């Protein structure tokens, strides 16, 4: 049986609804998402307030959003892995570890960007 795919504005509308649903699910179920959003709530206004160039502000803000994006992808991988199997498996552990490493690297990026801008290295 074939289903009809939405197109045009209907597709955009439903894609937005699914995205909001995903953000809500991540916020409710993932402490790391809540922590990163709390950090963003403090750091975004700070980035806007600092007397640095527009390019530097954008780099600082983008680095924060990259952390959130990577954390959302990591959470999706973990949820899928947990759905596939609840037993300890080396490949599932490897996938989760790699996702965690990606989050760690994105946090390092924030430290490097913010450090470079604030210290003018």
CATH of the domain at 35: 1.10.287.3610
Give residue 6's pLDDT.
82
**Residue at 84 is within a domain:** yes
- Residue 86, annotated ligand binder? no
Contacts of residue 71, Cβ cutoff 8 Å, sequence gap at least 6: 30, 32, 33, 36, 103, 106
Pairwise CA distance, residues 71 & 12, whole Å:
24
SS3 state at 4: coil
**Residue at 94 is within a domain:** yes
- Residue 71, annotated ligand binder? yes
**Residue at 2 is within a domain:** no
**Residue at 14 is within a domain:** yes
Give residue 7's pLDDT.
82
Q: Is the pLDDT of residue 85 over 60?
A: yes
- Residue 51, annotated ligand binder? no
- Residue 24, annotated ligand binder? no
The number of domains in the chain is: 1
Give this prediction's pTM.
Answer: 0.87
Annotated catalytic residues are 71
**Residue at 3 is within a domain:** no
Q: pLDDT (tens digit, 9 = 90+) per residue, 23-63?
A: 999 999 999 999 999 999 999 999 999 999 999 999 999 99
**Domain of 74?**
8-119
């Amino acid at each position: 049986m074939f289903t009809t795919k939405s197109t045009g504005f209907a597709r955009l509308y439903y894609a937005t609804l699914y995205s909001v649903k995903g953000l809500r699910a991540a916020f409710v179920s993932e402490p790391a998402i809540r922590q990163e959003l709390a950090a963003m709530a403090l750091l975004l206004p700070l980035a806007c307030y600092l007397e640095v160039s527009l390019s530097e502000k954008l780099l600082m803000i983008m680095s924060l959003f990259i952390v959130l994006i990577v954390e959302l992808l990591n959470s999706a991988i973990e949820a899928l892995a947990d759905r596939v199997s609840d037993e300890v498996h080396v490949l599932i552990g490897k996938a989760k570890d790699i996702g965690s490493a990606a989050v760690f690297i994105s946090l390092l990026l924030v430290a490097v960007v913010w450090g470079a801008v604030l210290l003018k290295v």
